[in-house]
């Protein structure tokens, strides 16, 4: 039995949900999101919220039960509060700026990197060395943050690069004489 899967996903005021076959649609103040569930789990909307149950007592159904409930919960949180990922850029001359629908990154290469901002994502350059990525889809926010980090991951000797806010970089000792 999944402890997470047994709990229904509560629907706050102003949020409506519908289940059409295997598709769960959630509509709230920040927008509308949908999720296609796997074949082994079912969802239903009741007075206490959205309930996810496995279809049969099979191993894969039990495996996907808690995951599916968490994904449905992410839909509800996304349309009510949204998700935010903060990033820090450290290094001499490293900076970022939002120009229209592109994020312009200067990360020590001979050229600037122009990253097109996908629809549904909002990127704010709070400072030239601090970014805030926000949106309603948790997976998309994390994917955009990972792609930006992959252009120049932090290196272990000086710690230069793009990192998540609060991420600890294990530092190595440099060359000795």
- Residue 89's CATH number: 3.90.930.12
Give the whole-angstrom CA distance, residue 123 versus residue 145.
Answer: 10
Tell me whether residue 28 is in a domain.
yes
- The answer on 35 and 98 residing in a single domain is no
Opening angle at CA 143, ends 142 and 146, nearest 5 = 85
Tell me whether residue 171 is in a domain.
no
Tell me whether residue 172 is in a domain.
no
Judge contact between 136 and 82, C-beta under 8 A.
yes
Q: Evaluate if residue 170 carries a pLDDT over 70.
A: yes
Indicate the residue among 32, 63, 80 that finishes a domain: 80
Opening angle at CA 57, ends 54 and 58, nearest 5 = 95
- The answer on 87 and 74 residing in a single domain is no
- The answer on 118 and 69 residing in a single domain is no
In this prediction, residue 61 has a pLDDT band, given cuts at 50, 70 and 90, of confident
Indicate the residue among 34, 58, 80 that finishes a domain: 80
What predicted TM-score, i.e. pTM, was given to this entire model? 0.87
- Lookup: tokens for 64: 């996907």
- The answer on 53 and 38 residing in a single domain is yes
Q: Evaluate if residue 2 carries a pLDDT over 80.
A: no
Task: Please state, as a whole number, how many other Cβ atoms lie within 10 Å of the Cβ of residue 48.
Answer: 11
In this prediction, residue 131 has a pLDDT band, given cuts at 50, 70 and 90, of very high
The dihedrals phi and psi of 137, each to the nearest 5 degrees, come to -95, 115
143-167 residue pLDDT tens: 999 999 999 999 999 989 999 999 9
pLDDT score for 59: 86
Taking alpha carbons only, the member of 2, 110, 124, 140 closest to residue 61 is 2
Which residue range(s) make up the domain with 158?
A: 83-164
Judge contact between 67 and 40, C-beta under 8 A.
no
Mean pLDDT score of the chain, rounded to an integer? 91
- The answer on 88 and 30 residing in a single domain is no
Indicate the residue among 80, 108, 142 that finishes a domain: 80
- The answer on 67 and 11 residing in a single domain is yes
Mean pLDDT in residue range 130-142: 94
pLDDT score for 3: 82
pLDDT score for 33: 92
In this prediction, residue 117 has a pLDDT band, given cuts at 50, 70 and 90, of very high
- The answer on 97 and 148 residing in a single domain is yes
70-105 residue pLDDT tens: 999 999 999 999 999 999 999 899 999 999 999 999
pLDDT score for 1: 65
> How many domains does one find in the chain?
2
pLDDT score for 138: 93
Task: Please state, as a whole number, how many other Cβ atoms lie within 10 Å of the Cβ of residue 51.
Answer: 18
Mean pLDDT in residue range 26-40: 91
User: DSSP characters for 10-30?
Assistant: ---TT-EEEEETTEEEEEETT
- The answer on 148 and 101 residing in a single domain is yes
- The answer on 92 and 48 residing in a single domain is no
In this prediction, residue 130 has a pLDDT band, given cuts at 50, 70 and 90, of very high
- The answer on 93 and 39 residing in a single domain is no
């Amino acid at each position: 039995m999944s402890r997470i899967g047994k709990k229904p996903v509560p629907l706050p005021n102003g949020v409506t949900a519908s289940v059409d076959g295997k598709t769960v649609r959630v509509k709230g103040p920040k927008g509308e999101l949908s999720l296609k569930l796997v074949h082994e789990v079912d969802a239903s909307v009741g007075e206490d919220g959205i309930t996810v149950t496995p279809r049969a007592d099979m191993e894969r159904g039990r495996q996907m039960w808690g995951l599916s409930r968490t994904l449905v919960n992410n839909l509800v949180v996304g349309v009510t509060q949204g998700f935010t990922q903060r990033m820090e850029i450290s290094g001499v001359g490293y900076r970022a700026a939002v120009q229209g629908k592109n994020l312009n990154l200067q990360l020590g290469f001979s050229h600037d990197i122009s990253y097109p901002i996908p629809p549904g994502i909002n990127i704010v350059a709070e400072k030239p060395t601090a970014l805030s990525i926000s949106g309603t889809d948790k997976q998309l926010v994390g994917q955009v943050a990972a792609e930006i980090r992959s252009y120049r991951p932090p290196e272990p000797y000086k710690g230069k690069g793009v990192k998540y806010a609060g991420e600890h970089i294990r530092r190595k000792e440099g060359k000795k004489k």
